[in-house]
Chain A
């Protein structure tokens, strides 16, 4: 009973601080000065160590709890979102535009819009600095269209302007297009530009290496709309039919026969085509993207306007309501409940709905707090998942290492003689092998023939099995010292089993040393894991660890231009190991205040 209340007070003091102990009367206070409590008190008074504890608790919380809320989709990549700088301004529409919208066109991580006076606005992360080279004296604009990294604009006088990425013929408007006087629509896709005249003729130019556009003769003179994604271009005719503008047969060509001739609007996601027919029904075909293919029943029969991002669809109905569905990692399918929507512009991960009073409602991806990497993946998401992996590997490696170290050190120290000699020689052999090269060889030799999960377990085991000698030596020394003390002689005299003496009498006396050593080797296990993963011999892509997030960062482009790709993982790793080491140092000082002298 007494023991319990002591423990309670200690735990209470852990959370409420030592001030709380004032209530305890003098006799109890005296009673409470157990070695354990002294350690806790010493540790709590050490400001540096407590800072370390707070920082590490925060990192631990982020790495262990957050992955459940933001799981890492290891198969996800998006070439349109590569190397986006940190920022949260993708949806920040200029206030003067949001009151009086004429048209908005959505680019990969930026958008352009024009208001009713023909004034041009831009916002978001301009992925290419050339996007800022907006031609002067374009006059009032009537239409704007943004692609992956270039923009097309149509002026009041019917002239087409282009800026942004101008390579591979994208910047050169063909002379036949320049001569046109009846342009009805401009469309910018992934490094492709299209122009549609009011008599239904379609012209295209740009990079044909990605999408080799082939416009069938029979649709010329009938085209009213064109859309592209990263792999295909699709056109809509005034007869309500859809045509895929590609030479080869793709899943997009499987257009449902019954809707041909009834289509009024359509949109493309990364894999699917979504069409709205004249009776307000929505149809999806194309790739295998289940969340895009499950159309909400509520839109059927009343759909009016459709727009699509990379993996989501947004539909405006005749009743003025809005529905979104599809992949919803960045909130791009969280449509608000409104009843006065008129039209929608969506693209990539953004949605802009124009209301009856010409004002705007936006939702979707507002930006990446820590930017994206070379494959368009969210760095923050990978940082959280990577932390989980790094900490898990470090913890299990330390567990293995401690078990071996305690057993070997305990037996060697207690029995001495030949057993000691043998075990310590073993420790010396294992300790004399340079660790990182051997771990690399083992990982390369064994790792190539096993699954990724087995590989991760193997790395934990390698780390644990190769790094126990230091701990074993430390424990052996402590056990040797404790063994000489009277209480061990007493225990022996009582006829206790040796196993009991080792683990129940001697071990509790060396446990403090073990705790300190384990804390410090936790940090070094994490460092070794990150070094291995950094070199490509630990956890491999697409799984994330802080180590493999840094792979390749030494190139001058990444280090300078895409700084967010290495600064954040490096910071997370550095902060964790520093705080763990501070905790370990603080514990050591708390347990043995004299050690500070050394």
Chain B
């Protein structure tokens, strides 16, 4: 077990290394001179000679005069130490800029995750048990519709329904402007703003995940041990929820990783629609403002998240299925 985790961690670091080279390459492709952009404000207020000197000093302090491999390793070491650079847009270190959006995005996605599973697992089981019934067929058709429609269109429809037609939820934002709620009230306010994005993201995920749960469950229900369990005279409930469901979890864990990637990727669009102060919204605004240091840090976060997610899923495998040998 420990050996396996170590092996996975080693692999994770290797992948991160590869990705970091790609990211550094993109970073270097960024047009324009970052130092000149940073000093833009001072340029007019200073004498040309003094500006020239400051420019050279800044350039040196950022190590931009050194060869690329050296720059890369410096960048890598800085990144590992948490120094992700300096945001031109916010005029402060990137790490400080990221904190609130990071929390917001994680909260948004975790709530979606919980809500999606709370709906799809019972639904998937129900459709698998009663497969080809009218109920199953209608869920099947709806789920094709659900996973075919892009989340931003679902978002538009839901804004129209629940913010404009029946104004229950706010159209956009992540906190009531001008409010300084504390404690319970702050949480409720946040949940109120979070409701619509979470509902939209959940609805967007429902179709695909329900189909997977149904498929895995149907396969499990065809196994010989289910026949054995029924032959033993176990209650149908026990057969479904204990024997079949437990076994259907294994393929589910596999698709979880892929879904997590698309969930966090998709939340970029949703956050942008709802002006939700998260990583996705920050990515969009920082790219529009040419604030590439922030964009890079967000990309690193996404990659890290997916790799850690992969690791957790691997570990989840051995939790749900003791037969899986980790080697």
**Given A434-B261, A598-B215: A448 and B150 interface contact (C-beta under 8 Å):** no
Besides A432-B19, A581-B144, A581-B148, 12 other CB < 8 A contacts? A432-B15, A434-B265, A437-B283, A440-B268, A442-B26, A530-B150, A550-B152, A554-B155, A556-B164, A563-B160, A573-B150, A580-B148
Q: Is the CB of A434 within 8 A of B303?
A: yes
**Given A434-B302, A437-B283, A531-B269: A429 and B18 interface contact (C-beta under 8 Å):** yes
Complex formed: what's the CA distance from A537 to B286 in Å? 12
Minimum CB–CB distance for B231 against chain A, Å: 22
Complex formed: what's the CA distance from A116 to B293 in Å? 72
Minimum CB–CB distance for A459 against chain B, Å: 15
Residues on the B chain within 8 Å of A578, using CB: 144-145, 148-149
**Given A433-B303, A440-B268, A535-B268: A446 and B149 interface contact (C-beta under 8 Å):** no
**Given A445-B29, A574-B149: A48 and B306 interface contact (C-beta under 8 Å):** no
Q: Is the CB of A446 within 8 A of B269?
A: no
Residues on the B chain within 8 Å of A436, using CB: 265-266, 268-269
A residues 551-598 in Cβ contact with B at 8 Å = 553-556, 559-560, 563, 566, 570, 573-574, 577-578, 580-582, 585, 597-598
26 contacts between A and B (CB under 8 A): A428-B15, A432-B19, A432-B307, A434-B299, A440-B287, A441-B26, A441-B283, A441-B299, A444-B290, A445-B31, A531-B152, A531-B266, A550-B152, A556-B159, A556-B163, A559-B156, A560-B165, A563-B160, A566-B156, A570-B153, A570-B156, A570-B157, A573-B150, A577-B150, A578-B145, A598-B215
- Chain A, interface residues (CB within 8 Å), range: 35 or more
Complex formed: what's the CA distance from A459 to B145 in Å? 26
Residues of chain A having any CB pair with chain B under 8 Å: 48, 425, 428-429, 431-438, 440-442, 444-446, 448-449, 523, 527, 530-531, 534-537, 550, 553-556, 559-560, 563, 566, 570, 573-574, 577-578, 580-582, 585, 597-598
Interface SS of B by simple majority: helix
Q: Tell me the count of chain B residues lying within 8 A, CB to CB, of chain A.
A: 58
Q: Is the CB of B306 within 8 A of A432?
A: yes
Q: Is the CB of B156 within 8 A of A550?
A: yes
Complex formed: what's the CA distance from A448 to B26 in Å? 13
Residues on the B chain within 8 Å of A428, using CB: 15
Residues on the A chain within 8 Å of B113, using CB: none
- Nearest 9 CB-CB pairs, A to B? A578-B148, A434-B265, A577-B148, A444-B287, A434-B302, A436-B265, A598-B215, A570-B153, A581-B148
B172 on the interface (CB 8 Å rule)? Answer: yes
Q: Is the CB of B219 within 8 A of A598?
A: yes
Q: Is the CB of A577 within 8 A of B299?
A: no
Residues of chain B having any CB pair with chain A under 8 Å: 15, 18-19, 26, 29-31, 141, 144-145, 147-153, 155-157, 159-160, 163-165, 171-172, 215, 218-219, 222, 261-262, 264-266, 268-269, 272-274, 280, 283-284, 287-288, 290, 292, 295-296, 298-299, 302-303, 305-307, 310
* Chain A residue with the shortest CB-CB distance to B274: A554
Complex formed: what's the CA distance from A556 to B30 in Å? 36
Minimum CB–CB distance for B273 against chain A, Å: 5
Complex formed: what's the CA distance from A137 to B60 in Å? 81
B31, B148, B149, B287 — most chain A CB neighbours (10 Å): B148
Residues on the A chain within 8 Å of B265, using CB: 434-437
Residues on the A chain within 8 Å of B29, using CB: 445-446
* Chain A residue with the shortest CB-CB distance to B147: A581
Complex formed: what's the CA distance from A577 to B146 in Å? 10
* Chain A residue with the shortest CB-CB distance to B137: A48
